[in-house]
Structure 1
Amino acid sequence: MPPGGRPPAGGPGGPRRPGGPGPERRPADEPTDLLAPVQPPVAEREPQLLTHREPDEEVIEAYYDDEDEYDDEELTDEEARALRRKKIWRRVRRVSYVVLGLMVLSPLVAFAIAYQIVDVPIPEQVAAQQGKAITVLYSDGSEMTKIAPHGANRSLVKYEELPDTVKNAVFAAEDPTFMTNPGFDIKAIARAGWYQLTDRDSGGSGLTQQYIKQATEEDDLTLTRKFNEIVKAYKMSKQQGKPEILTAYLNTIYFGRSAYGIKTAAEMYYGKQLAELTPSEAALLAGMIQNPGRSEDEAYTKERWEYVMGQMVEHKMIDQAYRDSQTFPTIKPLADVQQFALEGPLAHVQNQIEQEMAKHNVPRNVAQKRGAVVHTTIDPAMQKAADEAVNEIMANQPEELKYSLTAIDPNTGAVRAYWAGKDGNGIDYAKGTIQEAGSSFKPFDLVAALKMGKGLGSTYDGTSPRTFPGLKDPIRNATDPNNSCGKECPIREAMRLSLNTVFYDMVLNDTGAQAVADAAHQAGIPESVIIEGKERKLLVGENGGRPNVGISLGGDDAQVRPFDMASAYATFAARGVYREPFFITKITDAEGDVLVQPPVVERPAFDPDPQKSRDIADNVTEALKVIPTSSKIGCAGGRECAGKTGTHELPDNASQNSKAWMVGYTPSLSAAVWMGRNEGNVALQDARGNAIFGSGLPGKIWQKFMDKALANSPKETFPKAKPLGQFENPRKVVSSAPSSTPKKEDDRKEDRSRTSTPTAPSVPESSAPPSIPTRPGGGRPCGVLCTSDPPPSSGGERPDPISDPTR
């Protein structure tokens, strides 16, 4: 550079000024200048929250790489919807894969864990648990008895002692694949699930599972319980052989009739040893495993026997020829084999207690495992009073006479005394028989009349005899021979005198027979009952139709159990509130924990309005409270009592009765006494040969019981009745002339009930007389359990039985 610091104008690399001196410019030799950027730099990105970071575009593109076909074009609506569907189904598939994997792996893991935890029951310990006694207490907490299981000290059967007949029958009935399955049958479990979905019954448990359930007492309908049961069954099958499992099962399973184990069952059903059982007999025992509580239900036992026999044929355990040759095996009567802790009348109490335990899902086998304590309603003083009253009145009376006494607390429904027969193993004459109620049924006629607007002062023609359309013979009254009540007889007086003509007229022409049956059902007579294992409908006509007009006099279709009459009259005593009768207040286990505490079941009886129901009941009581005194069986010390007697005449001898009743009550106790004979329609005669009426031996038993049972209780009076309808009696008009002309047809209310054959075809069905039922196929008299009577020897129709409250 020359002095002065200025480069020469044309120096190397320098620009040459236009027109100036110096060399030509050579750009390749010149330094490179930095040019300004074409685009501004990208602004620095703000930091983002980690929870809200958008996925990179590359990730999105990779995830939807199969949708690149849409990247460069705008989607139509149809294409957009298709794209959304693809996305949804892709996610559903991936979630399904995960869920399926969990469904497969989770049960396997749970099964493996449970297998290590659960314990398998030991047969000897299970059998020992079945031997606990049941303690039964009176209402005051004192002990009535202890019930030990039948064969509690039994020796366990060994596998070698099990005959093939028994093993085959049990396999056929409960688990045909037992010898090959791993402790459970998947097909059976699936089938049981399907049956439950279609509202059918099926257990789905094989023998091993049933044994587990029996041993652990766990039978709640939960998936957890079923899962544990399957795990235990599988573990037991791995640890023990099939012979050991079958032996444990047959030593501990319940067969009904208080029999645990196959050996005891053979004794209780047939009185035989195991080796003596035929394949047919073994089939019945195996069939009872499913529902042992129905061992006395004849229809059910036959059904199960036929099923097991069919299964044995199908699995080639017996041949068809043997099956065809067999009939239902003969079972020993329960009374001959059953062991009661109690004897005599108290054995019937025990039987009712056990039935109620089963009703509350605590049958004897469950109660014995828990060492249950049963708290009953039976009052020891009242039970003693019943026993003393019966024994004192019936001393030296004919043994052929049978009778029962039931006492119920109207305020709760609790059964306070139950005397159903001397022989505890024989017929229960309180709940095991149904009988014509006679005139003790007339209060239900009155209920029907009160509900339609009649009152105790309403009048009917009370003269006797009276003829009615369709009746060959006239209706007669046993009392009031001079017709003092006359043509305008008030209902309350007709009830006191038990005038048949009034109540037959009332039901035939006004209330109708069905209204009477409805009133009885509302008071407490059940719609149906079980007699000797069979259901019997009550207060219905032929073939289950509407009842006959004879129900008005307590004959024909007015057939009831003595126990239920005590309950129905208790509804009157409770002022129109029906309370379901019961024997058990609670059941606890051995430690005192409550297993069952049944609630009191109650409802207004005669009308949904409690006040109306009360008024009806009070009016009935108003009519009934004079009868015990007028019948000379009133309560001691002037105590107020109400009640009604009743008799059922012999069809061919109006001076003799085949059944006699007294049913009555105070505000705190209702009691019913019935008397009859096992032969049915046979004359009731006392030791002197006299005919027995309701106010006779039955009335005296009732009177003595009430006096003894209430001796230490305060005297109670009935509340004053609120008048319904025509309450007061009209001015009395006396007429001694019998009425032979019925009310005009137009004035009668039609009764569409079942009737007997009228004497003239023109007579309407509603005016037909009560029929006398006959035993199908002949005229032989029925026994005490029958509901049919032979026709009168004359071949004609007769009025229903009557009651004389003064005799």
Structure 2
Amino acid sequence: MSNGNNEDQNKIRRKKVSSSNNPTKTTTNSTQNDSSSRSKSRKSNNKKDKFRFFRLTGVFILALLVVGAAAGTGLVFSSLRNVEPVTKALLDEKTYQTTKIYYADGSLLSNAPSTNKKEPVSLDDMSDHLKNAIVAIEDERFYEHSGVDIKGLFRSAVKTLLGKTQGGSTIPMQVSKMLLTSSEQTLPRKVKDIYYAYEMSKTLSKDEILEAYLNNFFVGRGLIGAQAGAHGYFSKDASELSLAESALLAGSTKNPSAYSAYIPDKLNGSETKEDLENRLLFYTNTTDDNWDDPTDVDFNIIDKLYYDWKLIDTDTHTQLKKGTLIVRKAVNNSKAKQRQEVVLAKMLELGYITQEEHDKAVAEEIKICLPKTEDTVVTSVQDLIESEVISALMNQGHTWDEADNLFRNGGLNIYTTIDSSMQDILEGEYENTNNFPGTKYINGIPQPQSAMVILDYKTGQIKALVGGRNIKGRKTLNRATTAQQPGSTIKPLSVYTPAIDTLEITQADSLSDARGGYKFSQNNKWNPATTTAGSGYMTLRKALAYSSNTIAIKTAEMLGDSYEECVDIMLDYLKNFGITTLKDSKTGDINEGDRRFPALTLGGMTYGVSPLEMASAYGTLANSGVYIEPTIFTTITTYDGQLLVKATPDEHKVVSEDVAYVITDMLKSVITEGIGGSAAIGGGIEVAGKTGTTNGKLDAWFVGYTPYYVASTYIGDDAGTKDPNTGETIARRGVDGSSGTAARLWSAVMKKVHSGLTKASFTVPSNIYFSNINLIDGGTSSGGARAAFINGTSPRRVSSYQTQTNTQDEYVEEEPDNTDDTTSDPPDNEGGTTTPPSDTNTDTGANNGTGTGNGTTDNGTNNGAGNGTTGGTDAGTNNGTGNGATDNGGTEPIPPAQ
């Protein structure tokens, strides 16, 4: 009866509206009647026009429908090419799909880590509350339709036309999207989803379809499926989920990133152990993550987590203190709670729960309880592959959650650059404790720690990598990608390359190694100790071979007219070499961070340089001056081989091939004439490289390359390690054997890597020629060192020395503290436990180098200098195979040739 009344009322309303639109009735005169007649005539014409419009429109629409039907038919047929039959076996195969990581030769390296990410279980092992919640909020007619809900699709289309959005996908259509098609927003994909949904409903039961959905729906935070969601958020099985927890998980389907159960939040220092237990989150801190730098509050709470509450392990504590790892706490997401209540209301509306159950679930406190991470061996290679692949997927428009999910559970094929045999060689040498003298276990971690990277510099491909010794666990500290103080390994990149490239100087130019007398007042105030004391004048070649600090500084001072200009030039070269960890900052006129000579000439940097970036930078010199960004994968494909990502590393020219070769020639002298002899690998294969140490030998390096590969080796105790009993910081120890230890490790690895390769020398550019020079004044000498010069730049005068005696107090190399203090203790010697007291060479005859003296006399142990071309005698043990110092000496230092 009420419906009838409503209809009558609607009719009355329509009549009133119609009446109000008619012209006002008048009966007073004929003019008004004529007007009325004309009005009627116009109405008649309007009706004819409207009829004509609707008729034409109808014909047009009909034509469109015909054309559209034809086009639609074509679209359907083209979309359904290559479809596959839908079976439970197929869905199971997709559900249990794992991302695979391959070596460069195509053999399997590993499966992508997926702990607590995707854990398929049977429908019987899932809470009934979760099943009902998903059906209620995602597809309330699931048990009625045949795969596609026509009413739902129609509602969705209408909403779309009205500018609103509403999902029309049924649970079978979503299973198709998850497992059989993709997430791209295209008509062909939607046509396929409809087809697969119908096929699915014909061949599978409703329970089988629902099980596939519940094992594959994304619940945020990299968690896939009911079981992973239950474990990842609540540390329980899916069968144990309460109504409130089930509704919370079901609510995440609308937008998993926005409606995940928790969000990460900063620690504020007021937390108790109970607040943080099973709620700690850890993230890798990189330059692209935009994490805030740790504050004093962060450092205090980090110590509490380790010392007081025992909530983190030693390696995690070390990473947190260094800032390479960031800690956050998981807090309940208010948006997820709001969405949960929407799900509960829908369940109540559809009769899945009672009012009492609804109210109880709304009032229930959701307790986030993150699972404990089991210790699993995670190599540094896998760590780097994970971060690089996720970054590449994010560059294609995926969120971090989506990219992480694809990496772990997308069934991807990741083809890496890692050479399995090289990786085995590297890991084998790192298991040999003889390569690390003075090893001591501190809190269960061997010290000193170490890292090594091998690159193919012609392609930028990482061939092998180790980021630490005997490390296992979650997100282990990867020292191969962590910045370390580089010491003198920075000199070829920041000083000698820009000098040879921009100045009218050569490796034959000679400078005094005397302390002081610098061009800029800042450097005279700093005034670091010389590392080649008493040697007087020497060529840049010899200065690099013996790692003279004073000459490196004086050479850098020649780069510009002002301190600032020199700093800018050095920074620019380092950036072009791919160094990303520079702190280039200043306040007003005051230089800060790495805008200072101590950082740029001797390596006393704010953060340092990672072994990976150092290898890549030296690889630029080996690669004729062309920098190629290091890469660890070549391609990423879908499970069925479709290309997703192809690595396209950055590539740019830093210096000409001529300049690159001159620096290479100078770096060869480090091994053949200087203090890096321990790095020689024999077999007729040339080596160019540089040693590096820091004050107290706390950090030791060797970075070098051959005509085949470039590699960097770092050794040093971890910084910031504390005694868990006293809380006091354990002092870092000097590396036993200093950079000689790093050079020997480098040699041990590279000898095996190059085993079986033909002997090879570096390719000499056509514009390069050689001249024998005296290493003191740089003049030509028939028996001197054979040095490379760019055409037109070789020395034009003969060496002044006939009979030469040179007293060399010591050859050492060290980075001063990154401060401007004016005093410095005498630095320790690099390369042995005892410094050579003297070097007396007698050169008779007219400018020839066939001396009769004893050459370099080195009484230290484990030294790299062997017998030199002037008859060097080395009394040390375990000496390298390289040549000793070819030094023609001189009783009086002379100024460089003009």
TM-score of the alignment, normalized to the shorter chain, above 0.5: yes
Is 1:437 aligned to residue 437 of structure 2? no
Following superposition of structure 1 onto structure 2, how do residues 82-101 of structure 1 map, counting pairs within 5 Å? 96-98=60-62, 101=65
Residue of structure 1 aligned with 2:460, choices 409, 413, 418:
413
Residue of structure 1 aligned with 2:187, choices 212, 217, 223:
223
Distance 1:359 1:262, change over 3 A: same
Is the 2:80–2:192 contact (alpha carbons within 8 Å) kept by the matching residues of 1? no
Deviations 1:332-374 (A, max 9, x none): 57xx3486xxx47xx3333444555556669897689997765
Is the 1:439–1:801 contact (alpha carbons within 8 Å) kept by the matching residues of 2? no
SS of 2:537's partner is coil
Deviations 1:259-314 (A, max 9, x none): 6532134435664323666868996994895599x997588997995653454467
Residues of 2 paired with 1:554 and 1:192: CA distance? 62
Counterpart position of 1:248: 212
**How far apart are 1:403 and its partner, in Å?**
0.9
Residues of 1 paired with 2:221 and 2:107: CA distance? 27
Counterpart position of 1:646: 692
Following superposition of structure 1 onto structure 2, how do residues 92-241 of structure 1 map, counting pairs within 5 Å? 96-98=60-62, 101-102=65-66, 121=86, 125-131=90-96, 137-140=102-105, 144=109, 156-158=121-123, 161-162=126-127, 164=129, 178-179=139-140, 209-230=173-194, 232=196
Counterpart position of 2:447: 400
Q: Could you tell me which amino acid in structure 1 is paired with residue 706 of structure 2?
A: T
Distance 1:539 1:274, change over 3 A: same
Distance 1:558 1:368, change over 3 A: closer
Residues of 1 paired with 2:558 and 2:816: CA distance? 14
- Mean Cα displacement is larger for which, 408-417 or 151-160? 151-160
Is 1:712 aligned to residue 756 of structure 2? yes
Following superposition of structure 1 onto structure 2, how do residues 366-385 of structure 1 map, counting pairs within 5 Å? 375-385=415-425
Residue of structure 1 aligned with 2:498, choices 448, 451, 456:
448
Structure (1 or 2) with the larger CA radius of gyration: 1
Is the 1:646–1:662 contact (alpha carbons within 8 Å) kept by the matching residues of 2? yes
Residues of 1 paired with 2:115 and 2:202: CA distance? 33
Is the 1:478–1:499 contact (alpha carbons within 8 Å) kept by the matching residues of 2? yes
Residues of 2 paired with 1:539 and 1:94: CA distance? 71
**How far apart are 1:716 and its partner, in Å?**
1.6
Deviations 1:364-390 (A, max 9, x none): 976899977655433333223323333
Gaps of 5+ in 1: 1-85, 528-536, 607-611, 650-654, 737-768, 773-791
Counterpart position of 2:381: 349
Is 1:675 aligned to residue 718 of structure 2? no
Distance 1:454 1:143, change over 3 A: same
Counterpart position of 1:574: 623
Residues of 2 paired with 1:449 and 1:324: CA distance? 71
Distance 1:164 1:718, change over 3 A: same
**How far apart are 1:225 and its partner, in Å?**
1.0
Residues of 2 paired with 1:594 and 1:234: CA distance? 26
Residues of 2 paired with 1:627 and 1:194: CA distance? 75
Counterpart position of 1:739: none
Residues of 1 paired with 2:480 and 2:226: CA distance? 32
Identity of aligned residues (%): 22
Gaps of 5+ in 2: 1-49, 143-147, 265-280, 292-327, 346-357, 397-402, 441-445, 723-728, 769-788, 808-814, 833-898
Is the 1:605–1:613 contact (alpha carbons within 8 Å) kept by the matching residues of 2? yes
Q: Could you tell me which amino acid in structure 1 is paired with residue 123 of structure 2?
A: K
Residues of 1 paired with 2:158 and 2:825: CA distance? 59
Deviations 1:558-581 (A, max 9, x none): 633212211221121111122333
Residues of 1 paired with 2:199 and 2:721: CA distance? 64
Deviations 1:77-117 (A, max 9, x none): xxxxxxxxx9x999996774445545886799899999999
Is the 1:646–1:660 contact (alpha carbons within 8 Å) kept by the matching residues of 2? yes
**How far apart are 1:663 and its partner, in Å?**
1.0
SS of 1:567's partner is helix
SS of 1:416's partner is strand
Is the 1:214–1:253 contact (alpha carbons within 8 Å) kept by the matching residues of 2? yes
**How far apart are 1:257 and its partner, in Å?**
8.8
Alignment coverage as a number of residue pairs: 625
Following superposition of structure 1 onto structure 2, how do residues 644-793 of structure 1 map, counting pairs within 5 Å? 644-649=690-695, 655-657=696-698, 659-680=699-720, 691-692=735-736, 695-720=739-764, 722=768, 723=789, 728=794
- Mean Cα displacement is larger for which, 269-278 or 430-439? 269-278
Residues of 2 paired with 1:250 and 1:277: CA distance? 13
Residues of 2 paired with 1:466 and 1:350: CA distance? 51
Residues of 2 paired with 1:105 and 1:189: CA distance? 17
**How far apart are 1:495 and its partner, in Å?**
6.2
Q: Could you tell me which amino acid in structure 2 is paired with residue 397 of structure 1?
A: T
Counterpart position of 1:747: none
Residue of structure 1 aligned with 2:679, choices 634, 639, 655:
634
SS of 1:443's partner is helix
Is the 1:439–1:647 contact (alpha carbons within 8 Å) kept by the matching residues of 2? yes
Q: Could you tell me which amino acid in structure 2 is paired with residue 350 of structure 1?
A: Q
Residues of 1 paired with 2:630 and 2:201: CA distance? 48
Distance 1:125 1:235, change over 3 A: closer
Is 1:274 aligned to residue 328 of structure 2? no
Residues of 2 paired with 1:514 and 1:277: CA distance? 61
**How far apart are 1:672 and its partner, in Å?**
0.8
Residues of 1 paired with 2:513 and 2:173: CA distance? 71
Residue of structure 2 aligned with 1:463, choices 505, 508, 514:
514
Q: Could you tell me which amino acid in structure 1 is paired with residue 757 of structure 2?
A: S
Residues of 2 paired with 1:130 and 1:249: CA distance? 9
SS of 1:497's partner is coil
Distance 1:623 1:163, change over 3 A: farther
Residues of 1 paired with 2:238 and 2:65: CA distance? 52
Counterpart position of 2:547: 497
Deviations 1:55-83 (A, max 9, x none): xxxxxxxxxxxxxxxxxxxxxxxxxxxxx
**How far apart are 1:671 and its partner, in Å?**
0.6
Distance 1:109 1:718, change over 3 A: closer
Distance 1:136 1:394, change over 3 A: same
Residues of 1 paired with 2:66 and 2:824: CA distance? 79
SS of 1:661's partner is strand
Is 1:308 aligned to residue 336 of structure 2? yes
Counterpart position of 1:479: 531
Structure with bigger RCO (C-alpha 8 Å, 6+ apart)? 1
Residues of 1 paired with 2:635 and 2:489: CA distance? 33
Distance 1:223 1:624, change over 3 A: same
Is the 2:528–2:823 contact (alpha carbons within 8 Å) kept by the matching residues of 1? no
Is the 2:624–2:660 contact (alpha carbons within 8 Å) kept by the matching residues of 1? yes
Residues of 1 paired with 2:182 and 2:599: CA distance? 50
Is the 1:662–1:694 contact (alpha carbons within 8 Å) kept by the matching residues of 2? no
Residues of 2 paired with 1:564 and 1:366: CA distance? 28
SS of 2:719's partner is coil
Distance 1:413 1:311, change over 3 A: same
Q: Could you tell me which amino acid in structure 2 is paired with residue 348 of structure 1?
A: S
Residues of 2 paired with 1:700 and 1:196: CA distance? 69
Q: Could you tell me which amino acid in structure 1 is paired with residue 94 of structure 2?
A: Q
- Mean Cα displacement is larger for which, 516-525 or 229-238? 229-238
SS of 2:499's partner is helix
**How far apart are 1:397 and its partner, in Å?**
1.7
**How far apart are 1:668 and its partner, in Å?**
0.8
